[in-house]
Amino acid sequence: EPEVTQTPSHQVTQMGQEVILRCVPISNHLYFYWYRQILGQKVEFLVSFYNNEISEKSEIFDDQFSVERPDGSNFTLKIRSTKLEDSAMYFCASTIDRGYEQYFGPGTRLTVT
């Protein structure tokens, strides 16, 4: 069964550094998402992406965040200048069409020191 994959599984970075988290959605899926989960808390929506543009974003997704689909398979989340409070598990998800189940990747644990 196809799965969403994410790399790296764990990223440690210093405050102020830029990080790029990578995701490979399921190949025939058209809608892509990023969520984050701070340790012990609920999963929070960050952004949705369709047809090479952001379709919805949350208040968490400020100017420090950006997303890109640089080629036909990857979907990336960039944090320009990381803060301590960006430490969290970041999940990518994809779906074949809106209204259908979103499939989650295994997550990238981001630790900002």
Residues at the interface with another protein (CB under 8 A):
31, 33, 35, 41-45, 48, 50, 55-56, 58, 91, 98-99, 101-107
| Strand duo 108-112 + 10-13: pairing | parallel
Strand partners for 43: 37
Kindly tell me which of 83 and 98 has the beta carbon lying closer to another protein.
Answer: 98
Q: Which is nearer to another protein, 42 or 62 (CB)?
A: 42
Distances (CA, A) of 50 to 14, 56, 94: 31, 9, 10
* In the complex, minimum distance from the CB of residue 81 to another protein, in angstroms, rounded to a whole number: 26
